[in-house]
């Protein structure tokens, strides 16, 4: 990826870090924010490689949405790599889950201390952050959520540039998602792109959030083989109301560019033309049911689909193809329907002719009736004259 400083546009990279999250935001003048850093097992390798390829040697903001090791796994390594001179402000959620710290959290806190970097807290009442004219509102964690759970209290950010907006939903679900919709419905209605919550898990990115945001595009960050079956088939079915879906497991690192007006450009590191949200849902359903690699699925035979797949996906996904026999029957049915339509038109034309003939007959009958009435009138007058002459 080339250096994009001074491009005048807002860039978002959803980095392919497997079953984890890491998102790089870059403002129009090159100010950078890294949101999460991938899985602890990767030691920040994927993220550091991406930053190096992008020629980024300074992070103005480093954000941990919450303390799960698939979100802050690379924080310690990135802090050690960049040092205090290479990192501006570090943010973490205001609420932390009580109890024993994971190894990922311990390493992160140690790296902060050793590099003399202060950790700041983010919550729903925090002031908006600025990224070269990109306004970043913090919508969660909220004091209204009576929970210490990490996912419920993960940082949710809405970044807006001009007329365009993206929602980064962290790992929220349940009460946090409900509260988010109830409290920020008007603001969420401006969302164009939704980074799905919790890697597309079953109980996140619910109908209320989707109906409120009505996103044109949804983004998924997940591994192809997830022990949690992320994204869940119910979730990908719900997100078919969006136009487009992009997945790190299928598309690789996904880069979006906002011009602040109407255009959102999308690039991927993997070569695939599948972007339609309904096609993506069909792909995930088929992948789950048949254990076939995502990049090996070019099309799906209708006969191979399970009956459990929602009909709206089967009927609308362009990658689902009918067998030759079914297609032949459909073609024959269409030909018969055309013939039936033609026969119906011919019958309608004959009925029109018959109706016209009936009208002519009715007119003749009317004339005859009038003549009979005239004759009767003349006969009556003649009889009256004859009677008058006799008298």
Residues 338 and 263 in one domain: no
| Total count of domains within the chain | 2
- Which of the two residues, 385 and 212, has the higher pLDDT score? 212
Q: Is residue 310 part of a domain?
A: no
- The percent of residues in the chain predicted with pLDDT above 90, rounded, is 61
Q: Which residue has the tokens 């992009």?
A: 246
Q: Is residue 285 part of a domain?
A: no
Q: Is residue 113 part of a domain?
A: yes
- The percent of residues in the chain predicted with pLDDT above 70, rounded, is 93
Q: Is the per-residue pLDDT at 324 higher than 50? A: no
Task: Look over the chain and give the mean of its residue pLDDT values, rounded to a whole number.
Answer: 89
Alpha carbon distance 14, 24 (integer Å)? 7
Task: Taking residues 141-168, report their average pLDDT.
Answer: 90
Q: Is residue 288 part of a domain?
A: no
Q: Is the per-residue pLDDT at 242 higher than 90? A: yes
Range of the domain at 71: 10-272
Q: Is the per-residue pLDDT at 366 higher than 90? A: no
Residues 266 and 344 in one domain: no
Q: Choose among 133, 142, 92, 140: nearest CA to 112.
A: 92
Which residues contact residue 350 at a Cβ distance below 8 angstroms, ignoring those fewer than 6 apart?
none
pLDDT band for position 96 (cuts 50, 70, 90): low
Residues 326 and 225 in one domain: no
Residues 211 and 71 in one domain: yes
Least confident of 8-12, 31-35, 150-154: 150-154
Tell me the CATH number at 140. 3.60.15.10
CA 7, 266, 29: angle at the middle one, nearest 5? 20
pLDDT at site 172: 94
Residues 257 and 367 in one domain: no
Query: CB-based burial of residue 367 (10 Å sphere; 0-12 exposed, 13-18 middle, 19+ buried)?
Result: exposed
Task: Taking residues 363-389, report their average pLDDT.
Answer: 80
Residues 35 and 146 in one domain: yes
Q: Is the per-residue pLDDT at 302 higher than 90? A: no
Contact (Cβ atoms closer than 8 angstroms) between residue 160 and residue 188: no
Long-range contact set of residues 368-377: C-beta below 8 Å, sequence gap at least 24? none
pLDDT band for position 371 (cuts 50, 70, 90): confident
pLDDT band for position 1 (cuts 50, 70, 90): very low
Domain edge (last residue) among 232, 254, 272: 272
Residues 118 and 196 in one domain: yes
Q: Is residue 307 part of a domain?
A: no
Q: Is the pTM of this model over 0.95?
A: no
Residues 267 and 330 in one domain: no
Residues 357 and 211 in one domain: no
Residues 102 and 241 in one domain: yes
Q: Is residue 39 part of a domain?
A: yes
Alpha carbon distance 370, 101 (integer Å)? 108
- DSSP label at 276? B
Alpha carbon distance 90, 352 (integer Å)? 82
Q: Choose among 162, 236, 179: nearest CA to 205.
A: 236
Task: Taking residues 352-364, report their average pLDDT.
Answer: 80
Residues 105 and 221 in one domain: yes
Residues 229 and 94 in one domain: yes
Q: Is residue 330 part of a domain?
A: yes
Q: Is residue 194 part of a domain?
A: yes
Distances (CA, A) of 286 to 18, 26, 237, 293, 321: 20, 36, 12, 10, 13
């Amino acid at each position: 990826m080339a250096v994009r400083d001074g491009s005048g546009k807002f860039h978002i990279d959803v980095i392919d870090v497997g079953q984890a999250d890491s998102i790089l935001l870059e403002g129009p003048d090159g100010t950078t924010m890294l949101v999460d850093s991938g899985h602890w097992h990767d030691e920040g390798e994927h993220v550091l490689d991406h930053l190096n390829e992008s020629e980024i040697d300074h992070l103005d903001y480093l954000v941990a949405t919450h303390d799960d090791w698939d979100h802050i796994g690379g924080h310690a390594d990135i802090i050690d790599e960049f040092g205090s001179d290479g990192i501006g402000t570090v943010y973490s959620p205001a609420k932390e889950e009580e109890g024993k710290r994971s190894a990922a959290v311990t390493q992160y806190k140690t790296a902060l201390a050793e590099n003399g970097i202060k950790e700041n807290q983010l919550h729903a009442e925090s002031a908006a952050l600025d990224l070269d004219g990109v306004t970043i509102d913090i919508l969660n964690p909220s004091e209204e959520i009576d929970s210490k759970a990490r996912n419920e209290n993960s940082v949710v950010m809405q970044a807006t540039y001009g007329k365009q907006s993206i929602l980064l939903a962290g790992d929220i679900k349940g009460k946090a998602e409900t509260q988010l919709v109830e409290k920020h419905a008007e603001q969420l209605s401006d969302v164009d792109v939704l980074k799905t919550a919790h890697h597309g898990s079953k109980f996140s990115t619910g109908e209320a959030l989707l109906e409120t945001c009505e996103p044109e595009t949804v983004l998924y960050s997940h591994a192809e083989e997830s022990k949690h079956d992320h994204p869940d088939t119910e979730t990908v079915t719900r997100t078919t109301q969006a136009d487009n879906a992009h997945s790190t497991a299928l598309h690789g690192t996904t880069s979006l560019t906002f011009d602040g007006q109407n255009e959102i450009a999308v690039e991927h590191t993997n070569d695939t033309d599948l972007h339609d949200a309904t096609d993506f849902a069909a792909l995930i359903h088929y992948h789950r049911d048949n254990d076939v690699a995502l990049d090996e699925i070019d099309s799906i035979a209708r006969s191979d689909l399970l009956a459990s797949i929602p009909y709206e996906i089967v009927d609308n996904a362009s990658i689902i193809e009918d067998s030759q026999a079914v297609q032949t029957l459909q073609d024959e049915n269409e030909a018969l329907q055309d013939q039936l339509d033609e026969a119906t038109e011919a019958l309608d034309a004959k009925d029109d002719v018959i109706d016209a003939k009936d009208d002519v007959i009715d007119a003749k009958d009317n004339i005859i009736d009038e003549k009979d009435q005239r004759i009767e009138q003349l006969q009556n007058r003649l009889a009256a004259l004859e009677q008058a002459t006799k008298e």
